[in-house]
Structure 1
Amino acid sequence: MTSHAATDDEQRTTTRRSVLGGVAATAGAALAGVGALATASRPAAAVDGDPAAFEAGDAPTVTSNDGLIESVYLSPTVDVSWTDFSAGVERVTLTLAVGSEAGVDEVYRETLSASDPAATPGDVASVRGLDGDGADTPSDAPPEFGAVDGGLTAAFERVDATARGDAVTTETLSATDLSGGETATTTLDVVFRADVAGSGEEVTVVRTTTVDLTVENPAGDATAGGSVAVDAV
């Protein structure tokens, strides 16, 4: 019986990550990891960012007598750099998705373009260039999309992931049937993807991480409800 339960868990995890893999599927070369350089083809791209934008400490916990996790906030700031785009870059599309056993929700999808390098569409709060050839030091100027080797920093507005879809919601994250002194944990997979296109080429690079959200029903009295700030604020 134990073996069967383990198999079911593995199947659910595989299914969830297969869907997330669809969000993070590569159009050229892609590697997961902080600042991973996609070297399998040229041109190439890399993505980096503040880890605090994707993680909430070692074990974020909400203490709640009613078992509710009301919100999960995200506000990532990421650096995207590119190399060997002979005619520069035409556009950079940034996507962030969050998934659990209940499914996957796309939280952000925004496209920055060379036609308006200073534009901040949708949930993009600010966009700046990077000093040097992809160095991770933001400049005060807009990104130079025409650079052979260049990059940008994009900061996103703070968003509640539970309000962006039908999978990662208050209902799916909460555990309202917990008895006093019990806890329940939900693992969230977070995928950030950057698609960099120009010179007739497109390169995709991906960063992934997981966050465990725990709700605890204490044996005594506590304030009901709570939030988990998974952000860089």
Structure 2
Amino acid sequence: MSSHSRDGDARREPTRRSVLGGVAAVAGGGLTGLGAIAASGRPAAAVDGDPAAFEAGDAPTVTSNDGRVESVYLSPAVEVSWADFSEGVERVTLSLAVGSDAGVDEVYRETLTAADPEATPGDVAAVGDVGGSPTDDAPPDFDAVDGGLTARFARADATARGDAVTSEALSAAELSGGETETTTLDVVFRAQVAGGGDEATVVRTTTVDLTVENPAGDATAGGSVGIDAV
């Protein structure tokens, strides 16, 4: 990354931490990572999979002469599991937010319920039982004391879901040839599991660097020129 990075690390880190902290705080004391289910006998939840699921990969680079980032697509597929819900689960709420120094946008927020276990509301493309795939015929067993579900979300453009992580905010039209500019995107995925008066929340966070590169100009010449002098 060149000296033209959008924000120096010294200035960016506090802001990025506040982005993550602000979104995670909505979870109300949620646990981070995969180790949320413990042998404590208390209701707990965990998330597996890749909440970011950026289609361009873990470190997408946009090569553009005008520095334009048109879209940032996501299509996450996750597995949510729960333990020690003695009366089973009534609902599972899944949300995903993407943030940068410019702010935070919520890309997905959907609720799956025991009342309609096969339902695929809103951006949920498919839902299935834990251990299988969202395309399996078996719906999730919300009555299970220890159970889970898999969910796959429809492809969405994060730049079109809010006012912070927009095409304009991510683009770098002022880049000269041969320069790059990087924006760090924070991705926060939250699963909230509730049932029988119990509730457990798990939060998983990750970061993705989105780099815009303006390739250096290159010119070549060939052929011949004939001059006739009299």
Tell me the TM-score normalized by structure 1.
0.82
Between the two structures, name the one with larger relative contact order (CA 8 Å, sep ≥ 6).
1
Residue 8 of structure 1: how far off its partner (Å): 3.5
Whether 1:37 and 2:36 are equivalent positions in the alignment is: yes
Q: 129, 132, 144: which is aligned to 1:137?
A: 132
The aligned residue for residue 210 of structure 1 is 207
Aligned in 2, Cα 1:41/1:64: closer, same or farther, shift over 3 Å?
A: farther
- For the residues of structure 2 that align with 1:51 and 1:194, how far apart are their CA atoms? 11
The aligned residue for residue 3 of structure 2 is none
| CA radius of gyration, larger in | 2
Q: 176, 187, 190: which is aligned to 1:190?
A: 187
- Two-structure CA RMSD over aligned residues (Å): 2.0
Q: 18, 27, 39: which is aligned to 2:21?
A: 18
Is 2:52–2:74's contact at 8 Å kept on the other side of the alignment? no
- For the residues of structure 2 that align with 1:19 and 1:13, how far apart are their CA atoms? 10
The aligned residue for residue 226 of structure 2 is none
- Kindly provide the CA deviation profile for residues 42-62 of structure 1, in whole angstroms up to 9, marking residues without a partner as x: 111111114772574453111
Q: Which amino acid aligns with 1:160?
A: D
The aligned residue for residue 225 of structure 1 is none
Stretches (4+) displaced over 3 A: 5-11, 38-41, 54-58, 136-139
Alignment length, in residue pairs? 208
The aligned residue for residue 198 of structure 2 is 201
- For the residues of structure 2 that align with 1:105 and 1:140, how far apart are their CA atoms? 33
- For the residues of structure 1 that align with 2:28 and 2:101, how far apart are their CA atoms? 23
Is 2:20–2:188's contact at 8 Å kept on the other side of the alignment? no
Q: Which runs of 5+ in 1 are unaligned?
A: 131-135, 222-233
- Kindly provide the CA deviation profile for residues 84-133 of structure 1, in whole angstroms up to 9, marking residues without a partner as x: 11110000000000000000000000000000000000000011112xxx
Percent identity (aligned): 71
The aligned residue for residue 98 of structure 2 is 98
Q: Which runs of 5+ in 2 are unaligned?
A: 1-7, 219-230
Q: How does 1:136-155 map to 2 (within 5 A)?
A: 136-138=131-133, 139-155=136-152
Tell me the TM-score normalized by structure 2.
0.83
- For the residues of structure 1 that align with 2:71 and 2:87, how far apart are their CA atoms? 43
Pick which of 78-87 and 38-47 moved more: 38-47
- For the residues of structure 2 that align with 1:55 and 1:19, how far apart are their CA atoms? 26
The aligned residue for residue 53 of structure 2 is 53
Pick which of 35-44 and 158-167 moved more: 35-44
Aligned in 2, Cα 1:58/1:111: closer, same or farther, shift over 3 Å?
A: closer
